[in-house]
Amino acid sequence: MTAAGLVQPPTDARTTVARAVEVTKVYGEGSTSVTALDRVDVAVAPGSFTAIMGPSGSGKSTLMHCLAGLDQPTSGQVFIDGELITGLPDRQLTEVRRDRIGFVFQSFNLLPMLSARDNITLPLELAGRRVDRAALAALVTSLGLADRLGHRPAQLSGGQQQRVAIARALITRPAVVFADEPTGALDSTTGTALLSYLRSAVRELGQTVVMVTHDPHAAAYADRVVLLADGRVRGEIDRPTADTVLSALASLAA
Amino acid sequence: MRSAWANLRAYPGRFVAVVIAIAIGVGFAAATLVFTASFRTDLVRSVGAAESLSDVEVRAGDTDLRADDPRLLGTPGVAATDPRYTAYVELRTAEVHGYTTIRSIPADPVQRWFELQSGTWPTGPDSVLTDAGTATRNGLTVGDTLTLSDANGVPRQLTLGGLVDVHVSKLAGAADQFFGDAPLVSALSGGYIDRIAVTVAGGASPDNVAVDLGRAFGPDAQVRTGAAAAEDRTSTVTGGTRTLTGVLLAFAAIAGLVAAFVIANTFTILVAQRQRQLGLLRCVGASRQQVRRSLIAEAAVVGVIGSTLGLVLGVGVGAAAMGVAGVAMGSLTVSPPSMAIVAIIGVAVTVLAAWVPAARAMRVTPLAALSAVPTAAEDRRASRVRVLIGGGFSLVGGAGLAAGVVLPSLLVAVGGGLLSASGLMLLLRSVLPWMLRWVGGAARLGGVPGRLAAANAVRHPGRSAATCTALVVAVGLIVTLQVAAASAQASLSQALSERFPLDVSVVTASDGAGALPAELIDRVDRIDGLRAVAVAGTAAAVGTLTQTFPLTVLGAAADSVAVLRAPAPQPGEIALPGWLVGSLDLKTGDPVTVSQGGTVVTLRLADNRVADNLDGAVVVTATDLALLDRAAQPRAIWGALDDIDEADTVIGDLKPLLVSDESLLLTGAAVEHAALTQGLDTVLLLVMALLAVAAVIAVVGIGNTLGLSVVERTRESALLRALGLRRGQLRLSIAVEAALLASVGAVVGIVLGVGYGAVGAAATFAEVGEKLVVAVPFGELAMVLMLALAAGMIASVLPARRAARATPTAALAEV
């Protein structure tokens, strides 16, 4: 099972929205250096729901950071929407994140001084784009946030905060949404509802979602699971279930 | 204690502002003490020099002293006596005519408190010495001839034999003085002995000899030791330095107050940021007292570091100030006890300012360690109590201020001012956040960075309010003084304009040479900002049939009436100065005779005060003057200034034109105005510079609050960056936040300052019974606002850089 054999990097931009080619990330220098990612190739097809899994320290968060343009790989290339983002100056990279990428974090990461509505529309305002009232209304209604828009994050429950974060990620219609342990800070019922929503966004809106998780039940909502261990891609599961994910993880540990 | 050290070592950057604030405050006080103490030393060295060299001095009491008084050498312990003469004499040189002092040179070289700089010591009664300053002021060089005349007017031709260095303090103000040998000065003083310097025998104590001599002379003479005499003499001059120390220390206290705000605010923020850490300490078994003690220890350590730096800074600045003021470096006096007191106060202020935050830290529950988001909930009841107390103080204080103006009583007004100011400071805590929100509305127009700034500025209302309050205090005091000074100036201008009929009046003294040279009139007329007219006049005897005075009679023509502020006399009338009306015992309408060379004109005394401030000139109409003297020549120049605020410049231009002729007398509103404003401007500038120190501390406080807030917001900054906020936008957002804090602080400070300045001036003027003209110097106020804004933005540079360093991945890292 080699990485190259399992995940063939597609060459056509239309068939991938996010793609890592030979991405290596090394932290530190000399004898204290740690290789977090070792020549990783990953491609994400448009309209797909991909889960990146692996044990702690497997490099899954680093991979996501590099794919999302939050961090620069030591070597290798990352393409978003067919465009090479590796080595872009900070300003352009900032604009790529602003316009083409949405983020959902484990700890919600809402700005405490802004209302829910302002948090959701923040990326649009950063881009200087007009807020499409109808689209916003549809989005917040589908997330059940319509009557919570005037509240500050501190006045919302964890589930509501995470739904605000999802709305913020979706409002710009990004090429790809990266979700980092989105259910990590939620109870299982709330978490399940959230995952269902993410899946429906993929099915009904054609939204591409890449989710990093260590929870096999969460991974089961994805179309495909990419397994990482020790900085390398160790396998891939199509149409995963919690059981197939669990057994794959067990074989990784072995 | 160990955790206090660990915190300091781990995050030294967070304490930089506190250390700077303390160092500036302590440095200010230390510099003040070093400067004034050195100043005093310098004065003692120069003023008491003569006295301090003699063991005992005997001064004339009820009877004149005699050098051969048997009581002197008859007293045990007296080894030698030396009579010292001082004479007040008339001085004439090629250039100068005036009065001066001449002192006898002690026969014993050891007793001389001055050294020869050039020339030779006098060997007989035909040469004298002087100091360099006196020589320069009187245009003398060694070898020149001068004439000294004694009280009876007997002149003596003398040669300037040399110059001596008397170590005169530049600040003591130098008076002209000469030195001659004893026979010369004795002759000039008519043999009058000013004092007798007594040298005691070896082994005898000057104190005992002084007591014995005092007993021997009784009321005939005043006997003191040389040291006591020097101290006495010095204290008369150094009374001023004590006032100076007091005033400067008051400003140091203001700087300290502002620093206390910054310190308290810093610790409040640190406690808020360390909620989890403090909670963790409580979890692992630290008692409430231990938590508090650790914070107090931290404050004490910071206080010690800041105070130490401040002392070093203060001694340096004090020494530099000495250099600027011209105090000899040899007089540098650093008193360890007073430095220690300043340092202790610095540490005490730091610890006290940290007390309330430390008490808050004590209340942190162990549970706080587990809460994800540290929240400092506002205590609503505390805020209501604060508003009540603040409102009460403001109302009572405001009433006191009003009462002070109405009564009038400056004391009541000052009390009311202090009370209302403390009340307002409490109220500001609630009012400032509201204002920040309101002003923040404008910042929202500036896109996302503006909106973020507006939201962040009111996130921690207490923090922002305390930051602004420090600036309000500093700016408020500056503006109070500006407005009070501007009002005082405007009121004085008004009063002067009413008192003087003319801005400028140049008159030749009645016994002067006569007409003004045409060239002078022409040159005066060409001075910028001055409209000058020549007024014809003649010397005449003015008075009644029984008594006349030689005066200059001026004839007011149409052009000269134009520059007068008061009405001119009517035809057939004469305006006399008040003193003349009084001494001639005249009433309005009484006949006044004016005679010159046989021509006698009788005029009626006008009900007119024009002549009151014309230095002995009287005023008639030009027609009446022609009756007296057909060929009257210009004898006066009357002038009006385009702008009375330019008086300083105009008078400065005018004076050099007049020095050549002693008989020319310059008076007028502009002269008084120039003299008054010059003093006022200098004092004002100095006070502004001193208050600027407080403003600098307040601005350091803004940078500090932002810096600490930015640390707290690292994750948010990272998140914003991840979401697509550019670095520049993030920096802009912090700068706008600083501008919001600075502008609200400055505007509130300006508004309060204008109020207090106007009321303060009103109370002061009411007390002295003068009429007040309130003047608001809008230009200067605008400058204060701009400076505050600029300083705030500059203070935001470092925090903004720090915020912009946040990497997007940091947003995702779990705490």
Q: Of B397-411, B503-517, B713-727, B752-766, which range is least confident? A: B503-517
- How crowded is the C-beta side of B301, counted as CA atoms within 13 Å? 18
Q: Of B391-405, B665-679, B704-718, which range is least confident? A: B665-679
CA distance A236 to B655: 99
Of B375, B448, B723, the CB nearest to A103: B723
Of B375, B719, B726, the CB nearest to A91: B726
Task: Report residue B168's pLDDT band, with 50, 70 and 90 as the boundaries.
Answer: low
Q: Residue A40 phi/psi, 5° resolution?
A: -95, 135
CB B703 within 8 A of CB B791: no
- Cα B301 to the center of its chain, rounded Å: 35
Beta bridge partners of A35: A26
Share of chain B above pLDDT 70, in %: 92
What is A62-114 written as a DSSP string? HHHHHHTTSS--SEEEEEETTEE-TT--HHHHHHHHHHHEEEE-TT----TTS
CB B785 within 8 A of CB B743: yes
More confident: B329 or A75: A75
A9, burial (CB in 10 Å: exposed 0-12, middle 13-18, buried 19+): middle
- Cα A154 to the center of its chain, rounded Å: 24
Of B448, B724, B814, the CB nearest to A107: B814
Q: Which of A242, A208, A215, A238 is nearest to A226 (CA)?
A: A238
CB B645 within 8 A of CB B526: no
CB B56 within 8 A of CB B224: yes
CB A233 within 8 A of CB A3: yes
Q: Return all residues near A58 (Cβ < 8 A) that are at least 6 apart.
A: A228, A229, A230, A231
Interface A-B: count of C-beta contacts within 8 A:
78
3-state helix, strand, coil in chain A (%, to 5): 40, 25, 35
B219, burial (CB in 10 Å: exposed 0-12, middle 13-18, buried 19+): exposed
Q: Residue B81 phi/psi, 5° resolution?
A: -130, 150
Put simply, the answer to whether B720 touches A111 (Cβ < 8 Å) is: yes
| Helices B288-325 & B2-10 angle (0-180, nearest 10) | 60
Please identify which residue in the block is written with the tokens 């035909």: B126
CB B671 within 8 A of CB B506: no
Q: How far is A5 from chain B (nearest CA, A)?
A: 31
Put simply, the answer to whether A118 touches B724 (Cβ < 8 Å) is: no
More confident: B107 or B95: B107
User: Which parts of chain A sit beneath pLDDT 50?
Assistant: 1-10
Put simply, the answer to whether B724 touches A95 (Cβ < 8 Å) is: yes
Q: Which of B632, B615, B596 is nearest to B515 (CA)?
A: B632
Q: pLDDT tens across B382-421, in order?
A: 678 888 898 999 999 999 988 888 887 878 888 888 899 8
CA distance B56 to B208: 10
Secondary structure class of A118 (helix, strand, coil)? helix
CB B463 within 8 A of CB B268: yes
B794, burial (CB in 10 Å: exposed 0-12, middle 13-18, buried 19+): middle
Secondary structure class of B223 (helix, strand, coil)? strand
Check whether B173 has a pLDDT greater than 80. no
Q: Of A16-30, B96-110, B774-788, which range is least confident? A: B96-110
Check whether B151 has a pLDDT greater than 80. no
Mean pLDDT over all residues of chain B? 82
Q: Return all residues near A12 (Cβ < 8 A) that are at least 6 apart.
A: none
Q: What is the pLDDT of residue B50?
A: 76
The pair of structure tokens assigned to B114 is: 């001055």
CA distance A94 to B730: 12
Secondary structure class of B662 (helix, strand, coil)? coil
CB A43 within 8 A of CB A176: no
CA distance B89 to B106: 19
Put simply, the answer to whether A109 touches B814 (Cβ < 8 Å) is: no
CA distance A120 to A146: 12
Q: Which amino acid is at B183?
A: P
CB B487 within 8 A of CB B405: no
Put simply, the answer to whether B725 touches A94 (Cβ < 8 Å) is: yes
CA angle B673, B674, B679 (to 5 degrees): 100
Residues in chain A: 254
CB A172 within 8 A of CB A123: yes
Mutation for A interface: B451, B709, B723, B815, most A CBs within 10 A: B723
CB atoms within 10 A of CB A28: 9
Q: Does residue B366 have a cis peptide bond before it, meaning omega lies within 30 degrees of 0?
A: no
Q: What is the pLDDT of residue A6?
A: 42
Task: Report residue B703's pLDDT band, with 50, 70 and 90 as the boundaries.
Answer: confident
CA distance A52 to B591: 118
Secondary structure class of B156 (helix, strand, coil)? strand
Q: How far is A74 from chain B (nearest CA, A)?
A: 15
Q: How far is B302 from chain A (nearest CA, A)?
A: 32
Put simply, the answer to whether A112 touches B809 (Cβ < 8 Å) is: no
Mutation for A interface: B812, B814, B815, most A CBs within 10 A: B812
Q: How far is B436 from chain A (nearest CA, A)?
A: 14
Put simply, the answer to whether A61 touches B812 (Cβ < 8 Å) is: yes
The pair of structure tokens assigned to B295 is: 């914070």
Residues in chain B: 815
ipTM of the complex: 0.73
* Residue A61: closest C-alpha in chain B: B812
Q: Which residues of B touch A (CB under 8 A)?
A: 372-373, 375, 447-448, 451-452, 455-456, 458-459, 715-716, 719-727, 729, 807-809, 811-812, 814-815
Put simply, the answer to whether B809 touches A71 (Cβ < 8 Å) is: yes
* Residue B455: closest C-alpha in chain A: A113
* Residue B451: closest C-alpha in chain A: A114
Q: What is the pLDDT of residue B1?
A: 52
CA distance A96 to A85: 8
Task: Report residue B149's pLDDT band, with 50, 70 and 90 as the boundaries.
Answer: confident
CA distance B196 to B221: 10
CA distance B330 to A227: 81
Of A95, A105, A125, the CB nearest to B811: A105
Q: B419 to each of B391, B398, B409, B422, B635, how far by Cα in Å?
A: 11, 8, 16, 5, 58
Q: pLDDT tens across B184-226, in order?
A: 888 888 888 888 888 888 888 888 888 988 888 888 888 888 8
CB B313 within 8 A of CB B30: yes
CA distance B804 to B815: 20
Task: Report residue B379's pLDDT band, with 50, 70 and 90 as the boundaries.
Answer: low
CA distance B576 to B588: 10
Q: How far is B430 from chain A (nearest CA, A)?
A: 19
Q: What is the pLDDT of residue A195?
A: 93
Q: How far is B674 from chain A (nearest CA, A)?
A: 57
CA distance B348 to B1: 17
B715 contacts on A by Cβ (under 8 Å): 109
CB atoms within 10 A of CB B478: 27
What is B398-461 written as a DSSP string? HHHHHHHHHTT-HHHHHHHHHHHHHHHHHHHHHHHHHHHHHHHHHHGGGHHHHHHHHHHHTTSH
CB B556 within 8 A of CB B620: yes
Check whether B798 has a pLDDT greater than 80. yes
